[in-house]
Structure 1
Amino acid sequence: MRIHRLLSSLTWLISPVALLLLWAAVAEAGIFPRNLLVPPVQVWQTFGQLSASGELLEHLLNSLSRLGLGFGIGSLCGLLFGVLMALSKNVEIYCAPLFHTLRQIPSIALIPMFVLLFGIDETFKIIIVAKTAFFPVALAASEGVKAIPRSYFEVADVYRLRWPTFVREIALPAATPPIITGFRISLTRAWVVLVATELLAADSGLGQMIEMSRQMLRIDVVMVGIVVTGVIGFALDFSFRQLEQRLFRWQTR
């Protein structure tokens, strides 16, 4: 029984191992030039070298610090705006059309304009991440609050709760599941957009490391950056999924 559970818990390794084996087989077969498709062993060795020198850690910390600050600003503003749009008819009437229009614009499409406005310093990267994080959280918060049963509002009227108290004690707890999902989606999107932004305009970060390595034809370093980017994105999404399961375990009982 224990062996069966152990094997079941390791099923997620099947696809990554299969991909590594395919990668190694194609690289060994010489279908592509070796300087364009480096084998996994060489990428692993390069990962060790970059880790030992501290270069990879420095780029990673720069990227994560930008992500943390931009995501924090964007998601909190999105939460406040989403709740306000759901509870105020005036805000919804005047702001909803513009909100739904702007959220359709890809963040990457705004990079040229943002570079002209803010340059390529940290402000630009934080703003692009904040913009990316803002809309999914705002939409999730708005839809979550709108889905609250009418009886909740009737109870609030009976007890004459003020709006701040109603939002804090009733609205946000009741809308927590979709809001958490919005946070998860916005975080992974912000991570993808940040790395893409660093590819185009940055002097540090994982994206910049990948781009500089591409220009120098260091494909092994490029592959290290790509793999690390994917692993970090997976870890962020997995962490929020675990948080969702822990917070809302009662819903599955």
Structure 2
Amino acid sequence: MFTTSLDRLSWLASPLAVLLAWALVAAAGWFPAQLLVPPQHVYEAFVELLGSGELREHLQNSLSRLAIGFSLGALGGLLFGTAMALSKNVEAYCAPLFHTLRQIPSIALIPMFILFFGVEETFKVLIVVKAAFFPVALAASEGVRGIPRSYFDVASVYRLPLHSLLKDVAFPAAAPPIVTGLRISLSRAWMVLVAAELLAADSGLGQMIEMSRQMMRIDVVMVGVVVTGLVGFTLDYGFRLLEKHLFRWKPRA
């Protein structure tokens, strides 16, 4: 019982070690105080931002952009990837361009997106759409291709319409790689969104970090960095729990 409890708490070891090292280095004065603030100052800044509502507002703006962009990108990627796996014509005409564009880092497209769409909400949502689209499309394409041919032969015998073929055969059979692709794309979309907000935004966690950097409020910068990491961890962990729940029938490695 005691060993099991320790195992459950083992994930706290590395964060606590980093926090302790951070506090010791800050106390030793190896770096200027305005560059490496101690953890207690960051906590005080967090409480201040939380009390004023500023952190909540920035976080809500970032998450709303993520939700809209990820929903559009993931849905588009799911449909396109499935079409590319099921249709030889779609694969022949679209696969070369698809595999070329997916190699371009989303961050590299930020300047072009700013030129075309400005710095308003459209730009930030579209950069998230791009970041989410390609991992999901690739996962859906590979997942549907991995379905045994006999599944489609049975569906052909029963003359299933396209929507039934997708809903009852393709998506359930390819669900594990698709959910993994969704998890990966969500993490990438979150990172790209914060990077975009760092460069051009009037709100959001990235903008809060950048404005605080310009004002030399490193404590607020660290609050933004920590919150960004915690949000990313929560999103990824939530998808991992979803995977375990949906595919609990799969044997664990």
Do Structure 1 and Structure 2 share a fold, with TM-score over 0.5? yes
Instruction: Tell me, in whole angstroms, the C-alpha distance in 2 between the residues paired with 1:145 and 1:58.
Output: 40
Q: Offset at 1:50?
A: 0.4
Q: Secondary structure at the match of 2:154?
A: helix
Q: CA deviation at 1:4?
A: 1.7
Query: Matched residue of 1:252: which SS?
Result: coil
Alignment-derived partner of residue 50 in structure 1: 49
Equivalent residue number for residue 201 of structure 1: 200
Query: Which residue of structure 2 aligns with residue 68 of structure 1?
Result: 67
Q: TM-score scaled to structure 1, two decimals?
A: 0.99
User: 1:243 is matched with which residue?
Assistant: 242
Is the aligned partner of 1:26 residue 2:37? no
1:90 maps to 89
Please provide the CA RMSD for this pair. Answer: 0.7
The Cα shift of 1:96 comes to 0.2
Structure 2 distance, partners of 1:232, 1:27, is 25
How many Å separate the matches in 2 of 1:157 and 1:6? 52
Equivalent-residue separation in structure 2 for 1:241 and 1:165 (angstroms): 28
Stretches of structure 1 that go unaligned for 5 or more consecutive residues are none
Correspondence list, 1:1-253, <5 A = 1=1, 3-252=2-251
Distance in 2 (CA, whole Å) between partners of 1:61 and 1:153 is 44
Cα distance, 1:11 vs. partner? 0.1
- Separation in 1, partners of 2:153, 2:235: 38
Unaligned runs of 5+ in 2: none
Cα drift, residue 184 of structure 1: 0.2
Instruction: Supply the AA of the counterpart residue of 2:127.
Output: I
Q: Secondary structure of the equivalent of 1:105?
A: coil
Matched residue type, 1:14: A
Structure 1 residue 250, shift from structure 2 partner: 0.5
Structure-2 separation of matches of 1:150 and 1:189: 32
Q: Distance in 1 between matches of 2:212 and 2:163?
A: 51
